[in-house]
Each structure stands twice: as structure tokens, then as C-alpha cells.
A and B are shown apart, each in its own frame.
Chain A
């Protein structure tokens, strides 16, 4: 997770310029997850734990394949199993690999107040830098996908790095490498988008999934992790994938209009009292002033 400073596009809580903005010619990377060919084997989960050397966590049993309810600070990649009843009464077992979506317009980064704790690289990867993280948890609130998780031991927030350390060395992320069915792909964003659209068209035309489509939500400027879904009109059925994710409205209000209004008001207040003093001076009780002068004489 080294900060390759010249490849940085955006920095959280940062005053001033960003080193890599517009400098490097670099492909935007993308992970493609085809939920229609996922078999729920969890090889990607194991590969993630292995590559990142994450500690083991307790699993739960809730009468399904779901081993834990959500991703965790030490479990960045989790397949969500959902039994979905279709309109015709037939049952579908939907499996979706859940992890950081690496938004083009990341809510975590927008909400973060700590200089350099979250960086977005020119290739689209959004990465947490725990040595700069102050543990405030604003990223948890900024994220529309419920991804950043607070570690009670480290008192910092962790999430999927899109194997930034592998990608910078020309390798694909660990999860991609482990997938036995080929439902995971990694490449440039245009390539993956094209592959996803081809697959969605195939599903619509030949497999009877009339609503099959690609999930690349525009509300967060598109994502660097995209899905092929059997039913793109109902992403919620895949274990809480929001239909139109955006940075929460209150986070946007707080970081834009309120910030400007507040800064102007604070500066205005300080200037105001200063000007008032110049114009009207102090409030002095006459008798007190006389008494004070009397003492001096």
C-alpha cells in the first residue's frame, strides 16, 4: 500500500494541489464480476485473506451459505447469498461477491477530514492509508455501499485495496486469480465494460434473462468494480446493492454549501467585531473611568 505519489488523482482532507493530477497517462483499471457464472465457492474470499494476510474471524450459521453477515475490517471480500423468489414463483440463488466498489466519485474520500488518509490513484483505485487515518469513521458515513469497517484494535478503518500492491506490479488482484469459473475478470475499464455488455446481451438474447444488464452506477460517477446481473432492474435483490447509490445528501451539503457558508460567516464575524471596535470603541462606565483617572493622579 505504498503511496506512489505521482499517480495520485485525489487526496482526502487535503489543502492545495495533488501531485499526480493530469500528469500520468495510465489506464483506468476495472474488476468485472459476472454474478451469473459465480458458483459461490468462496475461493476469492480465501485468496483475499491469504494475499493480505488477514486475521481469521468467527463465522456464523444462519441456515444458509452465508458465513458472516457483512464484510469486516479483517474480511474485505464476502460473497452474499440471497434466495430470491421471482414473480413466476421460481427460486433463484443469487450470489454476489461484495467488496469495495472503488467509485469514481468516492464518498469515503469526500467525507474524510484527515490529510492523505484516503487517496484515489489515477488508475481509479481508492486506497486507505492507515498511517494517516485518524479513526473518525466519517468514511463509514460517506460510503453508500457499507464497505469501510472500523477495527477496534487498530482504531483505524480498513477495506479492500483492489490489491493495489499487486496491480502496481502488473499482477491481477488475488480474488481474480483464484476464481475457478472465470466469473471474475480484470482489465481496463473500457475493456471490462465491453465484456460486461457482451455478456449481458448474451443473457438477454439466449438465456431468457430479459432484464440482464451491467451495474456501473452513474450516481457515484461509475465504479471500478462492475457487475453483470441477471436482473439489472432489481440490484437490491443481490443483498443490498443500492439501485442508485450516491454520496449521502447531507455529506454533500456539509462538504460544499455549508462549508462555504460557515467559512464566510466565521470570517465575517471576526471582521465584524473588529470593525465594530474601530467604529464604536469599548463600553466604559463613566464613573469607573473617572475613578480610575482619579487614582492615577
Chain B
């Protein structure tokens, strides 16, 4: 983790550093463009999205390049967060109590570290689907260079790409819902970077305790 002081002078807790926020929004903006243009190619009933975004020819040209940007952001996120996203034995308990989480009975949830198991699922879901989207996407980007004898690569790509995209859309819907309207305080944390002490204590107790321990002056 970064060595910046986590307890801010204004009494709040630093949750996401400047770099983390920047990379998150690099991924976020590129993903939204990819999802919208991808959906326009997915169904004739959504083809109008490409028209709104400047025409389907432009969408087809830019979609792969935005894909490259998204993959770069995912690689950076992996560098920053993969250690903290590792599954731990305590995660099982968290998933068993997921009912309480859904019903906002957060006091009955086991203590979570910097990222709770739900966030870990989101991260690894985007990471692995991102890799599969990259591989299948490269084939769909330049299908004319795939020789006829290797056409099975194209046949695989046209089914892998939409399946992985749909899985990420599922994650995206839940992520945006939770990050904006559902979990109050979460959106600010990825914009300004900080959360209240009470928020940190309630949602990421283990993480907050570690911050308090780190902040104690050395004796």
C-alpha cells in the first residue's frame, strides 16, 4: 500500500489515492464506451446507440482502440490491487452472510478488509473476462488476417466475446448501482478519495483498524 498518511487532517480516511482514482476512471470511461458501442452491434434494436455516437463505422473503428485503453487500465489495476484482492479463508464466512448485506443489516456482517469479497469478485470478474475479451477481440478486430484454415479462431471469438461482455455488463450494473445510489459515501471515495471514519469502520473494519494501528506513534 502507498505510504501516504491514511488519516487525513480533516478527520476523514483516505480510501483511494489519486493514482487509484485516475486508473479507475480510465477503466470506467473506456468501459462505458465499449459497452455502448458493443451493445449497438449486439442487437439491431440498439443500433441507434452507434448512430448517436457518430455512426457505426466510427464505432467499429474506435471500439478496438478503446479496448486497448481498457486493457491498459485493467493491467494497472491488477498491479495496484491484486495483492489486496487475494481470496482469504474469512471470505467464505462473508459470502454465507450475504443475505444480511443485501438487507442492509451490516452490523451482522463479518469484518471486511480493504476490499470485501464482493469487490474481489467484481475485480477478478473484470480481470479474467477482460483477458478473454482482449484475446477474442484481437481476432474480431482483424478477421481478414485469420487464414481460412484457422477459421475456428473466429468461430470461437464470436461466441466468447459476447458471453464475456454480458458477464461484465452484469457486474457493471451491480457495481454502478452500489457505487452510486445504494452505498452512500462510496461514490465520493472514488471521486475525492476519502470516506468518513464511521464509514470505514462499518464497511471495512479490518482495514480501518490496521490504519489506526499504523497511525499510532512508534514507542
Contacts and interface: CB of A to CB of B under 8 A. Distances in A.
B198 A287 contact: yes
Contacts of B60: 134-136
A262 B196 contact: no
B174 interface: yes
A270 B173 contact: yes
A132 to B, nearest CB: 9
B162 A285 contact: no
A135 B42 CA distance: 15
A14 interface: yes
B144 A140 contact: yes
Nearest to B200: A285
Main secondary structure of the interface of B (DSSP, over half): helix
Interface string A238-274: 0010000000111101100011001101100110010
Using C-beta atoms within 8 Å of the partner chain, give the interface range for chain A: 35 or more
A288 B155 CA distance: 53
Contacts of A258: 159, 162-163, 166
B181 interface: yes
A292 B135 CA distance: 48
Between B41, B148, B158, the greatest number of chain A beta carbons within 10 A of the residue's beta carbon is seen for B158
B42 A282 contact: no
A115 B44 contact: yes
B143 to A, nearest CB: 4
B144 A149 contact: yes
B2 interface: no
B198 A134 contact: no
Interface stretch (B69-77, B81-89, B100-108): B100-108
Given A266-B166, A266-B170, 16 more contacts: A113-B42, A114-B56, A135-B57, A135-B60, A137-B143, A140-B143, A141-B158, A150-B144, A258-B162, A258-B166, A262-B162, A276-B177, A283-B106, A283-B184, A285-B202, A285-B203
Interface of B: 40-45, 47, 50, 56-57, 59-61, 102-104, 106, 140, 143-144, 148, 151, 154-159, 162-163, 166, 169-170, 173-174, 177, 181-185, 196, 198-199, 202-203
Interface of A: 13-15, 70, 111, 113-115, 134-138, 140-141, 146, 149-150, 152, 155, 240, 248-251, 253-254, 258-259, 262-263, 265-266, 269-270, 273, 276-277, 280-288, 291
